[in-house]
Structure 1
Amino acid sequence: QSAFTLTSYIDGVQPLTGAFDGFLVHSRGGAAAPLRVESGGIDIASSLGGEPTLIRTDGAAPIIVLETENDVVGLLGYLPARQPDDDRLRLWEMAGTSHADLYQVGGIEDVLGCPTPVNAGPQHFVVKAALRHLTRWITDGTPPPEAPRLEVDDATGTYVVDDDGIVAGGIRTPLVDVPVDRLSGEASPEASVACLLFGSTTPLADDRLAELYPDADTYLAAFEASADEVIAAGFVLDDDRDALLAEAQPDRIP
Structure 2
Amino acid sequence: MHSPDRLNRRWATVTTLGAVLVATLLGPSPAQAASTAAPARAEAANPVLTVPPAGSHGFPFLAAAEDLGSYGYTESEYFTSGTATSYTKSGTWGSDGRWSVREAGRAAYKSRLLVRRPVDAAKFNGTVVVEWLNVSGQIELSPDYWFAREELLRKGYAWVGVSAQAVGVNGGSGAIHGLKGWDPDRYGTLVHPGDAFAYDIFSQAGQALRTPDGPDPLGGLKIRTLLADGESQSAGFMTTYANAVQPVAGVYDGLMVHSNSAIAAPISGDRGDILQMPYPSRIRTDLAVPTFVVLTETDVPGASAARQPDTDRVVHWEVAGTAHGDQWAYDVGQPTVIRSAGSAAPSPGCAAGSAPFNDGPGHYAMNAALRGLADWARGGSRPASGAQLNTDLRDPATGLAVGGIRLPDVTVPTRTLTGMRDTSGSGLFCGLYGARDPWNGDADPWDRHDGGDPSDPSFPPRAEPVLRRLYPTHEGYVSRVRSAAQTSVRAGHLLPEDATAIVSAAQDSPVGR
How much does 1:61 deviate?
0.7
Distance 1:103 1:246, change over 3 A: farther
The answer as to 2:506 corresponding to 1:250 is no
Distance 1:117 1:253, change over 3 A: farther
Distance 1:208 1:66, change over 3 A: same
The answer as to 2:449 corresponding to 1:221 is no
How much does 1:252 deviate?
4.1
How much does 1:217 deviate?
1.7
Could you say which structure has the larger radius of gyration? 2
Describe the SS at the equivalent of 1:98.
coil
How much does 1:239 deviate?
2.2
Describe the SS at the equivalent of 1:159.
strand
Runs (4+) off by over 4 Å:
44-47
Aligned partner of 2:430 in structure 1 is 195
Aligned partner of 2:295 in structure 1 is 67
The answer as to 2:419 corresponding to 1:185 is yes
Count of residue correspondences: 240
Aligned partner of 1:163 in structure 2 is 397
Q: TM-score, normalised by structure 1?
A: 0.86
Describe the SS at the equivalent of 1:13.
helix
Q: Could you tell me which runs of 5 or more consecutive residues in structure 1 were left unpaired when the two chains were aligned.
A: 153-157
In 1, the alpha carbon distance for the partners of 2:491 and 2:410 equals 16
Deviations along 1:39-83, whole A, 9 cap, x unmatched? xxx339957x9822111111111111000001002xxx0011111
Q: TM-score, normalised by structure 2?
A: 0.44
In 2, the alpha carbon distance for the partners of 1:187 and 1:123 equals 16
Aligned partner of 2:439 in structure 1 is 204
Describe the SS at the equivalent of 2:378.
helix
The answer as to 2:351 corresponding to 1:117 is no
In 2, the alpha carbon distance for the partners of 1:162 and 1:94 equals 19
| 8 Å CA contact retained: 2:348, 2:428 | no
Kindly provide the amino acid, as one letter, of the partner of residue 120 in structure 1. Answer: D
In 2, the alpha carbon distance for the partners of 1:62 and 1:26 equals 14
Aligned partner of 1:57 in structure 2 is 285
The answer as to 2:247 corresponding to 1:12 is no
Distance 1:222 1:136, change over 3 A: same
- 2:255 is aligned, of 23, 40, 54, to 23
Aligned partner of 2:315 in structure 1 is 90
Kindly provide the amino acid, as one letter, of the partner of residue 231 in structure 1. Answer: V
> Share of identical aligned residues, percent?
36
Distance 1:121 1:24, change over 3 A: same
In 2, the alpha carbon distance for the partners of 1:106 and 1:165 equals 25
How much does 1:160 deviate?
4.0
How much does 1:141 deviate?
3.5
| 8 Å CA contact retained: 1:151, 1:167 | yes
Deviations along 1:166-223, whole A, 9 cap, x unmatched? 1111111111111111010011242432010000000123562122111222111111
In 2, the alpha carbon distance for the partners of 1:136 and 1:46 equals 34
Distance 1:44 1:141, change over 3 A: farther
| 8 Å CA contact retained: 2:358, 2:419 | yes
Distance 1:45 1:228, change over 3 A: farther
| 8 Å CA contact retained: 2:235, 2:259 | yes
In 2, the alpha carbon distance for the partners of 1:101 and 1:251 equals 23
Structure with the larger strand share: 2
The answer as to 2:316 corresponding to 1:100 is no
How much does 1:85 deviate?
0.3
Cα-Cα RMSD: 2.4
